[in-house]
Amino acid sequence: MRQINKNLGKTKIANALLRNIDSVKLPFLQRSKSRQLAILENGEEVTIILNRGSVMRGGDILVDENGKFIKVIAADEQLLRVTAKNTFDLIRAAYHLGNRHIPIEVHADYLQLEFDPVLRDMLNNLGVMVSEESHPFEPEHGAYGGGHKHGHDHTFAEDYAIAQKVFHEHDHNHNHNHNHDHASHQHHKS
């Protein structure tokens, strides 16, 4: 079984190289998994093993272990499109959706999210307009990074090491035993 192990992103590649390119059509949930089995549009089953935390976007070019290219196609999905009469109401809706930690696609004058009847009702109660549509879904990356990586970006291992360092520094500074006698401490001024 062919193994896909690299994502070049939306790299410009000569048309001659893309003439007979394979493609894989996936909804966002599958495009956000870095390890999986997938079926190409030609029916061939492949293994996708990318850097953990990476997300495949529509139009990305993947590479298998033999150097063959595979184009990612974002599949149409049932979505909720949120619009509002004014910017304040749209920002308010984004705030309430963000509190639920769900993937949101943000545009200048509308939001999109995966179809959910409970969220649709909540949004209607907020006074924004909600319509059901079918489009590819490309939500925002997380605010702390992760997601799509390029060759010039830091690797996942480097990101993980930095996160661990910050965690351990925080843990060391704030998680020490507080069951000691503060009167016995001598504080030195520097």
Complete domains list, the chain, with CATH: 2-74 (2.60.260.20), 76-136 (3.30.70.790)
CA atoms within 13 A on the CB side of 63: 14
Looking at residue 148, its pLDDT comes to 39
Mean pLDDT of 99-121: 95
Stronger pLDDT, 97 or 160, i.e. the higher one: 97
Which residues of the chain form beta strands (DSSP E)? 2-7, 22-26, 35-39, 45-49, 61-64, 69-74, 76-83, 105-106, 111-114, 129-136
- Which token pair is 51? 């850097």
Report pLDDT digits (tens) over 129-161: 999 999 999 998 765 544 433 333 444 454 455
Full-model pTM: 0.69
Alpha-carbon gap, residue 104 to 102, rounded angstroms: 6
- Which token pair is 128? 């924004």
Average pLDDT of the chain?
82
For residue 94, give the 3-state DSSP assignment.
helix
Mean pLDDT of 89-112: 95
CA dihedral 91, 32, 12, 157 (to 10 degrees): 100
For residue 46, give the 3-state DSSP assignment.
strand
